[in-house]
Amino acid sequence: MDCSKLIIINTLVFMIIGLYLAFGLSFFPTLLLYPLLFPYFLFLLRIRTFSDDSILLETGIGYNPLENYRLSLAASAGFIVLLVTLWFDKLPLYFCIIGLILGLICYLIPIFPDYIGKFFNCDVRTEKGKDFLWLIGMFFVHILFLFVLGFYAITVGSLQLLIVIMVLVFSLIWITWKLKKDFNLFSK
C-alpha cells in the first residue's frame, strides 16, 4: 500500500495548490494549528475505544491510536477546506451546509474505527482493514475537495483549477477502483 499512499499524498499537495489558486490563502498557516488539536481532543473523548480493551484475544491486535490520529490529520484537510470556504461571505448557504457535512464525515471517519468496521463489515484492526479505513477517509476528502474547488471553478471560470480538478478526479477514480478491487465495496 506504500505506492498508493504516495499517490494520494501527492494528490493532497494538488488539493493545497488548488486552495491557494482558488482563494489566495494568506491565512493558511493559522489554519494548520486547528487540525493538530481537534483530533487530539476527540481522541481523548473516545479513549476507551483505543484502550487495551479493544485488543482481540485471538489475534492480539487492537485499534492503533497513532495510526488513526495520522489519518485524522490527513482527513482534517476537509475541515481546513470548510474553514476556508466559510471565510468568504459571498457563498450560498447550501454550499456551507454541504461543506460542513462533508468536512465532518472526512474528519470523523478515523475517530470511529469501531463503527466503520461494523458498518462496512471489515475488521479495521488488521493491515487490510487499516488500508480500507485509509482509502475510505481519502475517498471522502477527495469528494469534499472536488465539491469546493469545482464550485469555485464554475463560479469563477478558472482554467488552472480545472487542471487540479482533473488530477483529483483521476485520483478519485483510482481510489474507487482500489476499494472495488481489494474490498469489493461498490459491487452489487
- Give me the pLDDT at residue 81, please: 63
Q: pLDDT confidence of 16, banded at 50, 70, 90?
A: low
Cell representation of residue 131: 488500508
The residue type found at 84 is: V
Q: Name the pTM for this structure.
A: 0.74
Q: pLDDT confidence of 34, banded at 50, 70, 90?
A: low
Name the residue with higher pLDDT: 91 or 94.
94
| Alpha carbon separation from 84 to 27, 60, 80, 154, 155 (Å, rounded) | 9, 42, 6, 17, 16
pLDDT tens column, 46-85: 877 877 777 777 777 778 777 787 778 777 766 666 666 6
Q: Are 182 and 131 in contact (CB under 8 A)?
A: yes
Q: pLDDT confidence of 44, banded at 50, 70, 90?
A: confident
- Give me the pLDDT at residue 74, please: 73
Cell representation of residue 62: 487492537
Q: Are 150 and 85 in contact (CB under 8 A)?
A: no
